[in-house]
Amino acid sequence: MSILFRRRIKIIPGVRLNISKSGLSASVGVRGASVTLGGKGGTYANLGIPGTGIYTRKKIGGSNKVSNQKNYTEDIFQEEITESPDEIFVSAEPFEITSSGLQVLKDAVLEANSQRNLLSKDLKKIRLKLFFTKILKLISQISLIYFLNPVKTRFKEDLKQLNIASVQIKEGIENSYVDLDLNLNSEAKREYKKVISSFKNLINSNFIWDITSATDVDMVRERSSASQTYDRKLTSLSLKELPGIKSSFEACCFNNQNGADIFIYPGFIIMYNSENNFGIVELKDVEILFNESNFIESEQRPNDSEVIKYVWEKTNKNGSRDKRFADNRQLPVMRYGEITFIKKAGIFEKFLFSNYKYSNQFVNYLNYFVDSI
């Protein structure tokens, strides 16, 4: 029996992102191989087509930055699942939205993921061969064939080579990632620490929902105090590394229930579905909006939310109790925080948080960070 294994393990190039007021540049591998993304943006008016995730944007001056715009209207929302919603919060396929200058980073991550998967398959084969070689060795020992000098020597050599290959492949898997170097100035580093700190608070919200769709309500016909209903799904946030990337900076991850997860890094956002289906866009090209949401809560009341007022589940035109419904109950209107991600090339996601204060703080600190780079 002879064993031959050889796979050339590539050195995955490191990626250096230079983030400055003039834009974001990505350099891969050798010095001088760089691409510069855009420059300073502007203030844009946005018009969206509900349900498509596609937005048109017209520049109207100023700088394009994260917004902490608040909604002080009297609109009240309520949960309801409808078959034909008026607005769907869903993004385009991630592979369609990568910024041109960040393609070099995406290609490096794809290469790292591909190599890691191939090496993982090879490691399984090596472990299987190692297992059967040990079984054959045991059988040969029982039959005394093993003690013939050539057979004993061959087994020792085969086991040695398999163990060496196993160690080399493990090292290759551990090194199959993009070492991401983010060049931030001292002010930006301080501001990003505040982003991370506020995000850790946001993670601890009693309830976090992914809003997947919204439907307008005929308040008179439905005898409702709500002007719009939401289809919401419980979700979570986390701080974690994206497969294929290692960086000294933690990424803020919004787990999406109807599409790609959102990873926020300093200077860029990754929309991630799988190792082969993701997109990378500049942070300054994504509008992140904060709004106050007055929500009629018919389920468990969060402990970290403020009750604004109480309304009847079924109401008359003047808001009083509709006595025709015997089981009509009073429901609390809660003050929630709402964060929306929008990009004209196909990002449209909305999240609802029971903790208004933490969601507002996170968007504010993200705003300060964008201003600092």
Interval 87-114 mean pLDDT: 82
Residue 138 has pLDDT above 80, yes or no: yes
User: Do 292 and 74 contact (CB within 8 A), yes or no?
Assistant: no
Residue 2 in this model has a pLDDT that exceeds 90 = no
Percent of the chain with pLDDT over 90: 24
Task: Decide which of 281 and 94 is more confident.
Answer: 281
Residue 80 has pLDDT above 60, yes or no: no
The alpha carbon torsion through 311, 317, 318, 319 (nearest 10 deg) reads 0
**Where in the chain does DSSP place strands (E)?**
15-20, 23-28, 34-37, 43-49, 54-61, 76-79, 87-88, 178-183, 208-216, 228-234, 237-239, 245-247, 252-254, 261-265, 268-274, 277-282, 287-296, 306-312, 330-343, 347-353
CB 343 within 8 A of CB 285: yes
- Supply the pLDDT for residue 102: 84
pLDDT tens, 220-244?
Answer: 454 455 566 778 899 999 998 888 8
Pairing outcome for strands 306-312 and 287-296 = unpaired
Q: In this predicted structure, which of 6-10, 13-17, 344-348, 352-356 has the lowest mean pLDDT?
A: 6-10
Least reliable range by pLDDT among 143-147, 198-202, 278-282, 329-333: 143-147
| pLDDT score, position 261 | 94
Q: Apex CA 198: angle with CA 195 and CA 200, to 5°?
A: 110
| pLDDT given at position 22 | 56
pTM: 0.72
Question: What's the average model confidence in pLDDT over 61-84?
Answer: 46
Query: Tens digit of pLDDT for each residue in 6-42?
Result: 445 555 555 555 555 555 555 554 222 222 223 344 3
Q: What is the pLDDT of residue 57?
A: 36
Q: What is the pLDDT of residue 11?
A: 55
Q: Over 60: is that where the pLDDT of 297 sits? A: yes
Q: Kindly state the average pLDDT of the residues 250-278.
A: 92
DSSP state of 321: B
